[in-house]
Structure 1
């Protein structure tokens, strides 16, 4: 940096002076859009009739933005935008590679379906107390986490989505929601504190929080700085947010308590933000430290997937069973992170996108089934197939997909992960994935037989009491919504399409994995001058 004769520094060299192309505004447009629409909905919180009429089209626009971002990144490579006219690492950057764009587009599709489903699942009271504003703000946090290129801002966006999730979790103020929200908040605040401590430690070691800068400087500090301690802190923090063993007990204690649309949104998206952070920090920034921890990550993956599905098999409440299936899926993704190979990481990325769609859809299907049958308890459910054959068929397709059976989206990433495990001789990891798939098939088969195929029993006193204690939106008096059915059908169509025609999704996942393993394009987008020299 130049210094003049009076000893004053010339900062002109670190200013951004080039105009930003219109397409590059897609990097930050989704986050700005969510915050803007959330603010509008908050101002109109008393106009509950207008809330869905504004939010649902806005979510449709969000899908177009994120899909356009994916197309832009495919055509132009990793894109970076730095705020405040300061060049990185002085300025705060949003840096979007194929991994971030792919996850952003998938999560936007899920949110769009949730907005449609929520129109029938959330009553006027829920809208008045902020369902749609919180939905837009939680999407701002999720998308901000996927698109940021700065670790401290990753922490900030985690805070945004966490605060919004608190509001959604207690929407309705029922005792079970308050109890579940307390457990959820306490454990996530611990994870957030660990994240903040690790980030402060990282800044003390590197003097920067820009991810591209860290990716370059990590090799210089390796061997002289305690990077293993730093990475272990991040692993623990994000494993807790992703609900991995042994810090996963908060999820089944809380995800069954809110309204179904909120449970679906949480089960589909929130834990995947933790997985994304692990892929980004361990997979791209600290690959050598990830390799040293690979066996520990693999053990955690096996325990997460196996104990998760065993917990689901033991449940009588369908919502609780789905919560344990969310945990089991996290173990499958961790297996890909433990492998660290192109095939392993691409399998984890593919499976994460699959889980976003399928787990959200399963919660939606459970909500519709609860309306039809009047209970989420398997002991009181039955006859759902005869009551609505279409919903039963859609649910069966989702069950086959979550079990990893062909020709659905859950089949291909598991095949990729099994092959990647066998390629390095990790037969026990491949076996755990296959055993988990078998146990998942038994779990969802049990739910199907008891809730859908078994004839409905005559309601006894216990059943009537159970129905009377259910929230209003799950009682048989509430008619089946066309919008809720359409949202469910749309998500089912995505998992079927990705299973029948997996090549585009597989190619996206493989290119995203290569971007993690070779971050040169990521660094080049942030530091074009330095990287070209």
Structure 2
């Protein structure tokens, strides 16, 4: 009883705290130190609250909070209003995302919020970042389709601002593309919500799950298809992923890191909920398996063709979404366990790699492979912070990427279908090609000397080690930055912290995968979710 009361107090805080803090940071717009203190305190609070919710959800099971207190007098209907639901899956997503958001904001502060350039709207960055955080948390907690839509729109509106911060031509151009794609996705989602409401008469996820059992199969599949298109765009599932590599690389490093690590995973989370809670039975599994395979292969081929590290990582981001779709589409306990574990792994690793790219730009003044070289000699520490998450992304044992992929491969082998075996082969090929891609970055950016880079003289002033102690003259007229070669501790520390958290997924793989396994069981056994929302008990 005490645990339930405590959970009901904690459940709305991941949304309320960032929103209230965003208002406070706007008021403190002329006091940057106070702004930063508010943001760090707010996100630290969310980390603590999320950890408490994870513990309670794992101990007591799913619990729901009805915000507004409206009761329904109609027989067979649950409560009306805003429903917030915490189960093992949503609690895990809250913990991982809050840790990432806190680390990235420390990184941004260490960077001086875009180096304190007077041309950048610095005072807007932190409030918008908090609004984005609230939207992400709202999406994970939403117990009805409309508030899931609200969570998406809150985070997307904030992302529009963050993506175009500074208003350079490249960012505005990328922002326009991102806005158009996001608007299409939102319209499709809104259309899907209207269809679901017209069919079931409710938007509460638990009630929809119950009422769809009486809906004809064809209608259910049509509804699922519409929602999959909306969520597939947000998750960057092929063929709905072409927008991502053109949008993310232009943003500042902290923004790109958050986008790459979190925003697509909100779409993956929505796919898990729709697939397991609303439309169980595997009616669209073949479509999802094909989409997962194409997402892996086409994404990694796109990465191979890139010379800019940001675009390269954007394509690997798309590629590895295919692993998560693979696990979901298998519709098995082990497949879902692997997918959930891989989502947590990928959020941490992908965010870390984009933060490392920001450090590379600091150290060498560029992120294009044609202009990079000698970074291992110039900064062994930078080489280390790149190689650990890079090997993790490639799935080298014993890292968490290897553990997640082995679980997915085993689940595919157990399924035994032709498509599942095709995904197993595609997963192995994608993993090997990912290793090739990160090895290519290592050999070109870190291992070779700067003088061997085709455009090494264009990337700005650099430490002597980058030049292999030659007498070549750098074309410093093309590099007007005076901070090249320096990596602030405030940027290195949060990057290192995320590397440590990523390594904990390996060191504590047994208990963490055990948690993922319990979360998968809870997701597949949708009766627990429905009972918590409609039955009033956990």
Provide TM-score, normalisation by structure 2. Answer: 0.91
Q: How does 1:142-161 map to 2 (within 5 A)?
A: 142-161=136-155
Shift of 1:311: 0.8
Distance 1:470 1:230, change over 3 A: farther
Partner residue, 1:277: 270
Task: Tell whether 2:23 aligns with 1:39.
Answer: yes
**Uncovered stretches (5+) of structure 1, i.e. residues with no partner:** 1-17
Partner residue, 2:204: 210
Partner residue, 1:101: 91
Partner residue, 1:115: 105
Supply the distance in 1 between the matched residues of 2:176 and 2:525 (Cα, whole angstroms).
41
Query: 2:372·2:459 contact (CA, 8 Å) conserved in 1?
Result: no
Supply the distance in 2 between the matched residues of 1:199 and 1:361 (Cα, whole angstroms).
35
Shift of 1:127: 5.8
Structure 2 counterpart of 1:49, from 33, 52, 76: 33
Q: How does 1:394-473 map to 2 (within 5 A)?
A: 394-425=385-416, 426-457=420-451, 462-464=458-460
Task: Tell whether 2:260 aligns with 1:235.
Answer: no
Supply the distance in 2 between the matched residues of 1:36 and 1:115 (Cα, whole angstroms).
17
Structure 2 counterpart of 1:525, from 524, 529, 532: 532
Shift of 1:282: 1.4
Task: Tell whether 2:291 aligns with 1:300.
Answer: yes
Per-residue CA distance 1:297-345 (angstroms, 9 max, x = gap): 1111111111111111111100000100110111111111111111111
Query: 1:51·1:127 contact (CA, 8 Å) conserved in 2?
Result: no
Partner residue, 1:248: 241
Supply the distance in 1 between the matched residues of 2:245 and 2:330 (Cα, whole angstroms).
27
Shift of 1:19: 13
> Does the residue aligned with 2:241 lie in a helix, a strand or coil?
coil
> Does the residue aligned with 2:132 lie in a helix, a strand or coil?
helix
Structure 2 counterpart of 1:91, from 76, 81, 85: 81
Per-residue CA distance 1:56-97 (angstroms, 9 max, x = gap): 232112111111110111122111110111134322210111
Supply the distance in 2 between the matched residues of 1:391 and 1:309 (Cα, whole angstroms).
25
Supply the distance in 2 between the matched residues of 1:461 and 1:390 (Cα, whole angstroms).
23
Shift of 1:395: 0.9
Query: 1:381·1:456 contact (CA, 8 Å) conserved in 2?
Result: yes
Partner residue, 2:74: none
Supply the distance in 1 between the matched residues of 2:483 and 2:186 (Cα, whole angstroms).
40
Supply the distance in 2 between the matched residues of 1:196 and 1:380 (Cα, whole angstroms).
45
Query: 1:35·1:137 contact (CA, 8 Å) conserved in 2?
Result: yes
Query: 2:66·2:79 contact (CA, 8 Å) conserved in 1?
Result: no
Query: 2:324·2:343 contact (CA, 8 Å) conserved in 1?
Result: yes
Distance 1:239 1:274, change over 3 A: same
Supply the distance in 1 between the matched residues of 2:131 and 2:512 (Cα, whole angstroms).
28
Query: 1:78·1:521 contact (CA, 8 Å) conserved in 2?
Result: yes
Partner residue, 1:81: 65
Query: 1:357·1:491 contact (CA, 8 Å) conserved in 2?
Result: yes
> Does the residue aligned with 1:84 lie in a helix, a strand or coil?
strand
Query: 1:346·1:513 contact (CA, 8 Å) conserved in 2?
Result: yes
Partner residue, 2:54: 70
Per-residue CA distance 1:419-473 (angstroms, 9 max, x = gap): 111111122111111100000000000001111111222876544499766795x
Give RMSD over aligned pairs.
Answer: 2.0
Query: 1:48·1:127 contact (CA, 8 Å) conserved in 2?
Result: no
Query: 1:298·1:338 contact (CA, 8 Å) conserved in 2?
Result: yes
Shift of 1:133: 0.8
Supply the distance in 2 between the matched residues of 1:455 and 1:157 (Cα, whole angstroms).
47
Name whichever of 269-278 and 132-141 sits farther off.
Answer: 132-141
Shift of 1:22: 3.0
Structure 1 counterpart of 2:510, from 503, 508, 520: 503
Shift of 1:478: 6.6
Supply the distance in 1 between the matched residues of 2:442 and 2:198 (Cα, whole angstroms).
54
Shift of 1:54: 2.1
Provide TM-score, normalisation by structure 1. Answer: 0.92
Structure 1 counterpart of 2:180, from 151, 176, 186: 186
Partner residue, 2:355: 364
Per-residue CA distance 1:470-510 (angstroms, 9 max, x = gap): 795xx643731112111111111111121132112211211
**Uncovered stretches (5+) of structure 2, i.e. residues with no partner:** 72-77, 461-473
Per-residue CA distance 1:398-438 (angstroms, 9 max, x = gap): 11100011121111111011011111112211111110000
> Does the residue aligned with 1:438 lie in a helix, a strand or coil?
helix
Supply the distance in 2 between the matched residues of 1:222 and 1:130 (Cα, whole angstroms).
49
> Does the residue aligned with 1:240 lie in a helix, a strand or coil?
helix
Supply the distance in 2 between the matched residues of 1:468 and 1:100 (Cα, whole angstroms).
50
Supply the distance in 1 between the matched residues of 2:271 and 2:488 (Cα, whole angstroms).
38
Distance 1:295 1:40, change over 3 A: same
Task: Tell whether 2:520 aligns with 1:513.
Answer: yes
Partner residue, 1:345: 336
Supply the distance in 1 between the matched residues of 2:84 and 2:339 (Cα, whole angstroms).
24
Task: Tell whether 2:376 aligns with 1:385.
Answer: yes
Shift of 1:275: 0.2
Shift of 1:134: 1.2
Shift of 1:353: 0.8
Distance 1:380 1:92, change over 3 A: same
Query: 2:260·2:351 contact (CA, 8 Å) conserved in 1?
Result: yes
State the number of aligned residues: 509
Structure 1 counterpart of 2:164, from 144, 161, 170: 170
